Amino acid sequence: MATVHLTVPISEEAVCSLQVGDTVYLSGIIVTGRDAAHKYMVETFIRSANVPGSEQALYEELRRLLAGSAIYHCGPVVRQREDGRWEFVAAGPTTSIREEPYQADVIAHFGLRGVIGKGGMGPRTLQACQKHGAVYLHAVGGAATLIADAVKEVLTVYKKDEFGVPEAFWVIRVENLPLVVTMDSHGRSIHEEVQAVSERRLQQLLGVSV
């Protein structure tokens, strides 16, 4: 299990060298997005025949930002400074499995190299990671202050009024965001493996009676 410092844009080679269990410190510009953002991206950009004119600018911007970068499943607590700029106060991960219906398409369409969240994701996402060269990076649940501290700058926000603060696309610059690879681009998932090990041990423990 290695410790790796990664900087956006992440190359395919760098992502493919990661194995489940590796610790990653991520730096660079990433974007937050959860339920509303994923639904929007899939419905407006990916599955629609053509992108409406009003959404064209954001589409171009997201394509530029997300290629080689990561999307973070996070609903932050934010504060607006007097000069109008935003700050993240708390920025822990939210449960990722809700994006399972969308994530594989978003990885493929935007060329994501990383998906950040908690709890892991399902087989479709795992397959997409394998096919397109991406990983699932688990953030530490509850470590809200530490993660907010790694967010050095909020560059901008999209769809804040339409989706609300927790659901908006926040474009942030992170420095040494602490993460663990729990699904890699070789088809391995820690979530499946740990579950299987613990199942086996449970059976052993229940086999022995007092």
Partner 1 sequence: MDLTEPIVELIRRASTDLPADVEAALRAARDREEAGSAAASTLTAILDNVALARARSQPICQDTGTPIFHIHYPAGTSAGKLRAQAEAAVVEATRRAYLRPNAVDSITGRNSGNNLGIGFPVFHMEEWESDLLEIALLLKGGGSENVSIQYSLPYEPLKAGRDLEGVRRVVLDAVHRAQGEGCAPGILGICIGGDRSTAYTYAKMQLLRPLDDVNPVPELAALEERLLRECNELGVGPMGFGGKTTILGVKIGAAHRLPASFFVTVAYMCWACRRARMEVKNGTVVYP
Spatial separation of the C-alpha atoms in residues 118 and 128, rounded to whole Å: 18
Cα–Cα distances in Å, from 121 out to 2, 138, 176, 204? 22, 10, 23, 28
In sequence order, the β-bridge partners of residue 118 are: 95
Spatial separation of the C-alpha atoms in residues 40 and 113, rounded to whole Å: 20
Q: Is 11 helix (H, G, I), strand (E, B) or coil?
A: coil
Active site residue 132: no
Interaction between residue 165 and partner 1 (CB under 8 A): no
Q: β-strands 169-183, 77-80: how paired?
A: unpaired
Interaction between residue 146 and partner 1 (CB under 8 A): yes
Interaction between residue 73 and partner 1 (CB under 8 A): no
127 binds, among partner 1, ligand SF4, none (CB under 5 to 8 A by kind): none
Interaction between residue 186 and partner 1 (CB under 8 A): no
199 binds, among ligand SF4, partner 1, none (CB under 5 to 8 A by kind): partner 1
CA dihedral 123, 126, 130, 131 (to 10 degrees): 60
Interaction between residue 57 and partner 1 (CB under 8 A): no
| Residues between 115 and 134 that touch partner 1 (CB under 8 A) | 118-120
Residues that bind partner 1 (CB under 8 A): 1-3, 21-23, 77, 89-92, 118-120, 138, 140-147, 149, 178, 180, 182, 190-191, 193-195, 197-199, 201-202, 205-206, 209-210
The residues annotated as belonging to the active site are: 38
